[in-house]
């Protein structure tokens, strides 16, 4: 099995490792039609190769839903009890450090956190083991798709991979750059995220399709080129192309394995999009090139300084009258005041779920920074996803 820790070296080392494996398996990619689907697919989602794996994944997804709808409520109630026992009004806006000090050693709240993180770990392991156990087949499959269309794939294995991109966000083993199956693991793993709460599943990219359909048009109505920054496995990128079939659509991400999987999946869906391994703060595209620039829940995974750099780059590549619409959680002017338990969960998510920059994101003056680079915020913009922040920055002449 591949050692995921060894894959945190520079991009060249990662490329060399993957390349050496692929070279020994080249003959297995028998034809351009090489496609590994032992149990077919359910719409857009390929089914897992064995029923027991699918059942295990259904269990972890269901466990997460149960946790969010039942266990979290118990923990929230317990936090309120703790505050009242200490003579504190639960509606008081306590500093996070005070909340953490009061709550972090409580066994009930601790059990809730431990259940959540253990399920997260089992989820990742179940999925990762699936692909690593059949690495030869799945690596050969991606190789067979690399140069196929519709759409194009640009991998840059010799590029410098910044340290901030190497964290194992959501404790995903290998993160987004350090495992050749990062895209596969991310796609199936994050489907669990969309169960419960105000989401009702995303196996068919329903959330991404809805977000794409809710994006506004430029004032002149022209949409010829679209850029999706930090596109991950390209679910939102593909949805954008489906809404704007005549536009040239690009998705970029530092995670080579992510876009490699996204390219393969876009071909299976039959959508003509282009993927490139590039940085959000240095896209390599010309000035004034895109009518729409967007991103999907990317900024809360970036250091604040990198978010500011992405704002500058989005402004540079957007044309006059074009815009940047970054879809993400609430922060800045739109930040809401969480409950004490909500504050504790934010700290806990940062500490145990490897949301490294969540605190920076929550305190970032998001809208102010967009305005600083020149965007004019649209006060009448609507949220692409209910419950998320609304930032629609228009580039004026």
Show the beta-strand stretches assigned E in the chain.
41-42, 45-46, 153-154, 195-196, 199-200, 225-229, 248-253, 274-277, 290-296, 318-327, 376-377, 393-394
β-partners of residue 153 are 275
* Other CB atoms within 10 Å distance of the CB of residue 334: 14
Query: Residue 332 and residue 349: Cα distance in Å, rounded?
Result: 19
β-partners of residue 292 are 226, 323
* Other CB atoms within 10 Å distance of the CB of residue 300: 20
pLDDT on residue 338: 85
Query: Residue 233 and residue 239: Cα distance in Å, rounded?
Result: 12
Q: Is beta strand 318-327 parallel, antiparallel or unpaired with respect to 393-394?
A: antiparallel
Q: Helix (H, G, I), strand (E, B), or coil: what is residue 274?
A: strand
* Other CB atoms within 10 Å distance of the CB of residue 34: 16
Query: Residue 367 and residue 375: Cα distance in Å, rounded?
Result: 9
Q: Which among 334, 329, 249 has a CA at the least distance from the CA of 293?
A: 249
**CB contact at 8 A, 388 and 361:** no
Q: Tens of pLDDT along the chain (397 residues)?
A: 333 333 333 443 444 444 444 443 433 333 355 889 989 999 999 998 889 989 999 999 999 999 999 999 999 999 999 999 999 998 888 999 999 999 999 999 999 999 999 999 999 999 999 999 999 999 999 999 999 999 999 999 999 999 999 999 999 999 999 999 999 999 999 988 887 656 778 999 999 999 999 999 999 999 999 999 999 999 999 999 999 999 999 999 999 999 999 999 999 999 999 999 999 999 999 999 999 999 999 999 999 999 999 999 999 999 999 999 999 999 888 887 889 999 999 899 999 999 999 889 988 999 999 999 999 999 999 999 988 999 999 999 7
**CB contact at 8 A, 265 and 184:** no
What pTM value is reported for the model?
0.90
**CB contact at 8 A, 263 and 145:** yes
Query: Residue 336 and residue 358: Cα distance in Å, rounded?
Result: 14
Query: Taking each helix axis from N to C terminus, what angle separates 107-133 and 182-191, rounded to the nearest 10 degrees?
Result: 140
Query: Residue 183 and residue 175: Cα distance in Å, rounded?
Result: 10
Query: DSSP secondary-structure letter at 137?
Result: H
DSSP code string of 209-249: HHHHHHPPPPTT---SEEEEET-TTSHHHHHHHHHSTTSEE
Query: Residue 79 and residue 81: Cα distance in Å, rounded?
Result: 5
CA atoms within 13 A on the CB side of 58: 8
Query: Residue 173 and residue 171: Cα distance in Å, rounded?
Result: 6
Q: Which among 363, 394, 352 has a CA at the least distance from the CA of 113?
A: 352
What topology does CATH give the domain 4-28+129-394?
Answer: Rossmann fold (3.40.50)
CA torsion sign for 357, 359, 361, 363 is negative
**CB contact at 8 A, 230 and 253:** yes
Query: Residue 82 and residue 275: Cα distance in Å, rounded?
Result: 50
CA torsion sign for 54, 59, 65, 67 is negative
Query: Residue 291 and residue 318: Cα distance in Å, rounded?
Result: 6
pLDDT on residue 333: 85
pLDDT on residue 201: 86
Q: Which among 294, 352, 371 has a CA at the least distance from the CA of 328?
A: 294
**CB contact at 8 A, 189 and 124:** yes
């Amino acid at each position: 099995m591949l050692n995921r820790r060894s894959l945190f070296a520079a991009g060249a080392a990662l490329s060399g490792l993957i390349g050496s494996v692929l070279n020994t398996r080249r003959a297995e990619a028998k034809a351009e039609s090489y496609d590994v689907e032992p149990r077919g697919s359910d719409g857009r989602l390929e089914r897992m190769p064995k029923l027991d794996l699918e059942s295990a994944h259904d269990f972890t997804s269901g466990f997460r839903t149960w946790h969010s709808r039942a266990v979290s409520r118990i923990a929230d109630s317990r936090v309120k009890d703790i505050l009242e026992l200490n003579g504190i009004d639960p509606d008081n806006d306590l500093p996070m450090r005070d909340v953490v000090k009061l709550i972090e050693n409580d066994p009930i709240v601790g059990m809730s956190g431990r259940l959540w993180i253990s399920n997260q770990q089992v989820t990742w392991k179940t999925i990762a083991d699936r692909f690593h156990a059949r690495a030869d087949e799945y690596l050969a499959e991606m190789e067979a798709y690399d140069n196929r269309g519709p759409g194009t794939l640009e991998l840059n294995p010799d590029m410098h991979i910044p340290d901030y991109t190497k964290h194992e966000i959501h404790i995903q083993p290998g993160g987004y750059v350090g495992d050749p199956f990062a895209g596969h693991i991310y796609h199936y793993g994050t489907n669990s995220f969309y169960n419960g709460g105000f989401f009702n599943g995303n196996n068919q990219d329903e959330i991404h399709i809805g977000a794409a359909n809710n994006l506004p048009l430029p004032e002149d109505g022209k949409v010829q080129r679209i850029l999706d920054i930090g596109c991950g496995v390209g679910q939102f990128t593909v949805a954008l192309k489906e809404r704007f079939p005549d536009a040239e659509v690009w998705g970029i991400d530092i995670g080579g394995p992510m876009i490699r999987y996204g390219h393969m999946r876009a071909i299976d869906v039959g959508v003509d999009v282009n993927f490139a391994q590039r940085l959000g703060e240095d896209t390599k595209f010309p000035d004034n090139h895109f009518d729409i620039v967007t991103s999907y829940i990317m900024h809360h995974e970036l250091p604040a300084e990198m978010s500011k750099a992405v704002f500058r780059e989005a402004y540079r590549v957007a044309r006059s009258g074009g815009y940047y619409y970054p879809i993400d959680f609430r922060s800045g002017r739109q930040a809401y005041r969480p409950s004490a338990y909500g504050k504790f969960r934010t700290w806990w998510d940062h500490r145990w779920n490897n949301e490294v920059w969540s605190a920076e994101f929550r305190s970032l003056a998001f809208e102010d920074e967009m305005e600083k680079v020149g965007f004019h915020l649209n006060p009448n913009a609507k949220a692409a996803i209910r419950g998320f922040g609304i930032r629609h920055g228009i580039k004026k002449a």
